[in-house]
Amino acid sequence: MKKRYLVVLLILLSFTSLFVGVTSISPLDLFRFSDQQTQIFWQSRVPRLISILIAGVTLSISGFIMQQLSRNKFVSPTTAGTMDSARFGILIALIVFTAASPIEKMIVAFIFSLAGTFLFMKILDRIKMKDPIFIPLVGLMFGNIISSITTFFAYKHDLIQNMSAWLQGDFSMITAGRYEMLYISIPLVIIAYIFADRFTIAGMGEDFARNLGLNYKQAVNVGLVIVALSTTLVVLTVGLIPFLGLVVPNIVSIYKGDNLKNSLSDTALLGAVFILFCDILGRILIFPYEIPIGLTVGVIGSGIFIYLLMRRRDYA
């Protein structure tokens, strides 16, 4: 029922996204594009739409997986240091290989974000106080520590300007040739679907998983690799997009439950719709200028996050 609305909404927004921009391209022109319009359409508008969709889908699914594996509704790539670690990795890649190729950057950033996420999960194991609101705070602090280390080294190596490009998520720089790396995320989404049941069972706890003969450690590791890699890809191509992986899974969980296999498609759809909506909003609010996606998602997302926190208090 709800899914049908989401699909319709997604199609409408995608269509809108293709035809909003400084150079006016109207759907009516579709079959009689001028050369310039064709170029902008294929070089900028289409890549932008694809990267928005992929980023929205993968970040939301990553958030859902993290929330299951950590058994905490408020853990996400933003609140577990994953994004900050990926950014730290990019900096290291820039320092070590002066002119790092995208693949080099990706590999180093992936290793860092994976290590950072693992470290956070280890910290989680150690924390005795299992207050659900305390844990994301620890994650945010952890992320901020990594972020300040990044700033320190970036400052020392005169890379502050470079790094700020990855600080704020921004789709306006996406053109053909600069976003294709995101396609690596598509197989990750498929793996996530195959492992969905395992993630949910692992989310019921280690004893529960072992009772059902599930290899708990393997499930957790696969989940964290998916999360770290897809987050890295988004940070590298688009930049930080905060709160998306937090807000979307929580909304889906409210109306669809936490059985990942049932909720995965809704999470993907809602993630794409949400980020697409924020991006279009950012593009038309101060037209012809743009508000970067990191900011729009950040403002709307953190608002919803606060609402979720209050709601949690009500029924917890």
| Residue 258 binding other proteins, by CB under 8 A | yes
Q: Measure the CA–CA gap between 315 and 154, rounded to whole angstroms.
A: 44
Closest contact distance (angstroms) between CB of 202 and other proteins is: 11
Q: Measure the CA–CA gap between 12 and 170, rounded to whole angstroms.
A: 22
Closest contact distance (angstroms) between CB of 253 and other proteins is: 6
For residue 41, what is the DSSP state?
A: I
| Residue 214 binding other proteins, by CB under 8 A | yes
Q: Give the number of residues in contact with other proteins, rule: CB under 8 A.
A: 28
State which residue, 214 or 304, has the beta carbon closest to other proteins.
Answer: 214
Residue pair 271/56 in contact (Cβ under 8 Å)? The answer is: yes
Residue pair 200/260 in contact (Cβ under 8 Å)? The answer is: yes
| Residue 208 binding other proteins, by CB under 8 A | yes
State which residue, 96 or 133, has the beta carbon closest to other proteins.
Answer: 133
State which residue, 255 or 307, has the beta carbon closest to other proteins.
Answer: 255
Residues in the chain: 316
| Residue 198 binding other proteins, by CB under 8 A | yes
Interacting residue with other proteins among 34, 148, 164, 211 (CB under 8 A): 211
Residue pair 297/242 in contact (Cβ under 8 Å)? The answer is: yes
State which residue, 35 or 125, has the beta carbon closest to other proteins.
Answer: 125
- Determine how many CB atoms are found less than 10 A away from the CB of residue 65: 32
| Residue 267 binding other proteins, by CB under 8 A | no
State which residue, 132 or 140, has the beta carbon closest to other proteins.
Answer: 132
* Nearest in space to 255 (alpha carbons), one of 11, 12, 5: 5
Q: What angle do CA 226, 169, 111 make, to 5 degrees?
A: 35
State which residue, 187 or 257, has the beta carbon closest to other proteins.
Answer: 257
Q: Which of residues 100-139 bind other proteins (CB under 8 A)?
A: 132
Tokens representing 298?
A: 């950040």
Interacting residue with other proteins among 45, 48, 73, 105 (CB under 8 A): 73
The CA distances from residue 62 to 77, 171, 193, 214, in Å, are 7, 20, 11, 21
Interacting residue with other proteins among 204, 284, 295, 304 (CB under 8 A): 204
| Residue 3 binding other proteins, by CB under 8 A | no
Q: Measure the CA–CA gap between 91 and 37, rounded to whole angstroms.
A: 37
Question: What's the half-sphere exposure (Cβ side, CA atoms, 13 Å) at 14?
Answer: 18
Stretch that binds other proteins, among 221-229, 231-239, 255-263, 297-305 (CB under 8 A): 255-263
Stretch that binds other proteins, among 12-20, 65-73, 226-234, 303-311 (CB under 8 A): 65-73
Residue pair 297/56 in contact (Cβ under 8 Å)? The answer is: no
Contacts with other proteins by CB under 8 A lie at: 68, 71-73, 132, 194, 196-198, 200-201, 203-205, 207-208, 210-215, 253, 257-259, 261-262
